[in-house]
Amino acid sequence: MVTPGTQQATTTLTAATTTGATTSLSVVALTQAMASGDSIRLNDNAGHTQTATLSAAAAIGATTLTTSSFTPSQVYPVGSTVTDTTQVGAPVIFQPPTSGAANFYMLAWASLAGDEAIIWRKCQPDGSLDLNRQSGANKAAIPVNISILTVGGGVAPWKWMGALPQRDGPTPSSSVLGF
C-alpha cells in the first residue's frame, strides 16, 4: 500500500498580516520545505482560517513564504499558524502487503501515443521479480509475472479502449488468463 506522508509542514507568522493585497508572509524558519503551487492555510487559532497559494518554493530554514496575491479577510496576528495542506513533494510511505495474504490489483497500460489503453480489472503478482541494476542513462525493464483473473458477475476481466479497431484479446480458459 502506498500512502502519502502524514506530516504537514507547519510554521507560525512572525509579522501580522494586513487586510490589503498580500504576496508574502513572514514566518518562523521552516522545518520542512514547501513547494510552489502548494495550498497553505492561515489560522488565527481563534476559529478563523483562510487559504492562499505559494507562488515560489520555500526551502527548509526559509523565513518568508511568497504567495500569489490574496487579500486576507482579517488581520492574522503574530503566532497565527500557517500549514501546508497540499503536501506536494511530501514523503511517500510504502508498506508491503502482509506475506501470504491474497492481494488483487487493477493494472492499466496506455500507449505512448495515447491512442489506446487496456485495463485488466483483477490481477495478482505471480512468481518472482528480477531487477538488473544499471548505471548511467540506460533504461531498465523490470520483468514481472502477473496473472489476470476473472472478475465474476459477468464483468469482463479486461477492457480495451482506443481509436484503432479493437484487437482480439485473451479468452479465459479457466479462472486464470496467461500472456
pLDDT tens string 33-66: 888 888 899 999 888 999 999 999 998 889 999 9
| pLDDT for 154 | 83
Residue 129, pLDDT > 70, answer no
Task: Provide the 10 A C-beta neighbour count for residue 87.
Answer: 19
Q: What percentage of the chain exceeds 70 in pLDDT?
A: 69
Which residues 6+ apart lie within 8 Å of 48 measured at CB? 73, 74, 76
Looking at per-residue pLDDT, the higher value among 127 and 156 belongs to 156
How high does pLDDT run on average in the chain? Answer: 78
Question: pLDDT band at residue 12, thresholds of 50, 70 and 90?
Answer: very high
Torsions phi, psi for 162 (to 5 deg): 170, 180
Distance CA(131)–CA(2), nearest Å, equals 20
Query: Residue 167's closest CA among 118, 112, 114, 123?
Result: 118
List the single range of 34-43, 144-153, 160-169 with lowest mean pLDDT.
160-169
Q: Minimum mean pLDDT among 13-27, 106-120, 121-135: which range?
A: 121-135
Please name the residue that has the C-alpha cell 487559504. Answer: 51
Q: Which residue has the higher pLDDT, 29 or 6?
A: 29
Q: By C-alpha distance, which of 148, 143, 156 is closest to 179?
A: 148
Instruction: Supply the pLDDT for residue 115.
Output: 77
Asked if 167 and 111 touch (Cβ cutoff 8 Å), the reply is no
The yes or no reply on domain 2-92 and CATH 2.40.30 is: yes
Domain boundaries, the chain: 2-92, 99-177
Q: Which of 17-26, 53-62, 64-73, 149-158 has the lowest mean pLDDT?
A: 149-158
Grid coordinates belonging to 52: 492562499
